[in-house]
Amino acid sequence: MRVGVPKEIKNHEYRVGLTPPSVAELAAAGHQVIVETKAGSGIDFEDADYVEAGATIVHDARAVFAGADMVVKVKEPQASEIALLEPRHLLFTYLHLAADKPQAEGLMRSGATCIAYETVTAQGGGLPLLKPMSEVAGRMSVQVGAHYLEKEQGGRGVLLGGVPGVAPAKVAILGGGVSGINAAQMAVGLRADVTIYDLNMSRLAELDMFFSSQIKTAFASKAAIAAAVRNAHLVIGAVLVPGAAAPKLVTREMLKTMKRGSVLVDIAIDQGGCFETSHATTHEDPVFEVDGVIHYCVANMPGAVARTSTFALNNATLPFALKLANMGAQEAMRADPHLAAGLNVSGGRIRHRAVADALDMEFVAA
């Protein structure tokens, strides 16, 4: 199979779909890999590194799409990239369609087969291709939250861990999944006062055992979330409904009760965000303020730590990319129902029920 890797063009996106070691694995399996020039420059890989691994370098994205059967990316295709897709293409990347109807419509018009990293499942449960970026985003959320709590950033002027004689900041984490637990690990490491909120009592029990007395846990009732928002200095939105839009857990009315200079970090922004006042931002312009509360809602958070993120992502995606290249999309999905769960769009139809429901569009089984 001919596998194409374009350079990412989303704002301040430095990751790349395949690293040279991943290219070498595909080449060793007999596949041709076509890489856009400078695709890996954001993480210090030169074209020569890709050539040494067995890739062919081409001068632009148009040449990548024209020459490839399967296109491997990181972020959802932008409008100029969707225009290059054809029915013969297999697209393998993050899509996050539940909050992006124009993208879904564009992919449908292309006729391409589009498999989304974020809905591929694992035999033991979970989302193995979303997990590494959820880990990164969870850990980053505490870093950026601590930064924007600083006074010169417009924050309240609170040190996350406090000092002897001065209480630490209160951190409320909404969601006890992969992002939430990674956020909690970082916040605990900085000696913050941490509470995790979740609706799953079994998960809360697991978290209580894992962290022992280092954190508190609470059932995520509306009243509990309202109290958390009112009292917290940093609120991290880390909820996920696979393939679907994130639920709006924090309303505008709740926001009005927060301390001026408090910070919200919305990890769920790729799926529409879990704060009513959220809208997607970029690394170039990452925050905005509503009612005196700072919102950090960057839709590609892990792109800021692109080298770590790219290697973590490739560790997870490469086995699936090899399976797709070796077997072809249809045979690979027939052989692996967990990979088939990643199918979002093909033949001009929405193939994932949660995506269709979120977009109020017709679901058609593959």
Catalytic positions, written as ranges: 96, 270
Task: With CA atoms as reference, report the closest residue to 89 among 64, 69, 105, 62.
Answer: 69
Question: 200 in helix, strand or coil?
Answer: coil
CA distance 247 to 197: 14
- Give CA 211 to chain center in angstroms: 25
Is the Cβ–Cβ distance between 129 and 319 less than 8 Å?
A: no
Report in angstroms the alpha-carbon separations of 44 from 23, 104, 232, 340. 16, 32, 39, 34
State the SS3 of 258-322.
CCCCCEEEEHHHHHCCCECCCCCECCCCCEEEECCEEEECECCHHHHHHHHHHHHHHHHHHHHHH
147 token code pair: 């930064």
